[in-house]
Chains A and B, each alone.
Chain A
Amino acid sequence: EVKLQQSGDELVRPGASVKMSCKASGYTFTDYAMHWVKQSPGQGLEWIGTIIPLIDTTSYNQKFKGKATLTADKSSNTAYMELSRLTSEDSAVYYCARAPIRYGGYPDYFDYWGQGVMVTVSS
């Protein structure tokens, strides 16, 4: 059974950073890409970026460059996202989502999602 287990909810101070994890199980971690998606309260979905663990390649939405850093640890089948210099605009639920990789190395749709991490930025 494919499972993406994300770390717990976070309450962080403005200006701080937070690093969240997404532990994958039930499939070969390096056969898929991992995306990260933001959902602000009552809002739609925003794509943050993706990492292809096999070749350690990342691609970011320009809007999140400098805000988000994606990494992956192949030895523990875990993807990470660090968000820096947090403000109230970063308060949201963050999802990791697995994606098949199509011919040519481009990630595809999101077939499995983690349960989400709620980040609250407050002093």
Chain B
Amino acid sequence: DIQMTQSPSSMSASLGDTVTINCLASQDIGNYLSWYQQKPGKSPKLMIYGATNLEDGVPSRFSGSRSGSDYSLTINSLGYDDEGIYHCHQYYEYPFTFGSGTKLEIK
């Protein structure tokens, strides 16, 4: 199975900050990587797909990038609404796997 190593597991940042969350794939997954935001008691919401493509309706403050097997989600100009857990997900091959999640708190 492809392992997705996500870091950090939690982080705290201030309003207006820029933060980056990372996922390292254990093998090549091409650009078959997506990012989801999950708020407490809610289902995950698609933010980025194809490693770098912004889902419709997602603010342009969110962006995804790739460097080899390292994938990143960057959020600029943090707002309170960005608080939640972020999950990366590879859909290159079965079994699909997720990172362990990053809990983002806004100070």
Contact = CB atoms under 8 A, between A and B. Distances in A.
A113 interface: yes
Contacts of A27: none
Interface in A34-87: 35, 44-47, 50, 59, 61-63
Residues of B contacting A: mostly:
loop
Contact of A47 (B43, B44, B98): B98
Given A107-B91, A109-B34, A110-B34, A46 B98 contact: yes
Nearest to B100: A44
Place the interface of chain A in its size category: 20 to 34
A108 B49 contact: yes
Contacts of A109: 32, 34, 46, 49-50, 89, 91
A35 B97 CA distance: 12
A32 B55 CA distance: 17
A116 B41 CA distance: 9
A114 B98 contact: no
Contacts of B32: 108-109
21 contacts: A35-B96, A44-B100, A45-B89, A45-B98, A45-B101, A47-B95, A59-B94, A95-B43, A99-B91, A108-B91, A109-B34, A109-B46, A109-B49, A110-B36, A110-B44, A110-B46, A111-B46, A111-B49, A112-B46, A114-B43, A116-B43
Given A109-B32, A109-B34, 11 more contacts: A44-B98, A46-B98, A47-B98, A59-B94, A63-B95, A107-B91, A108-B49, A110-B44, A112-B46, A113-B43, A114-B43
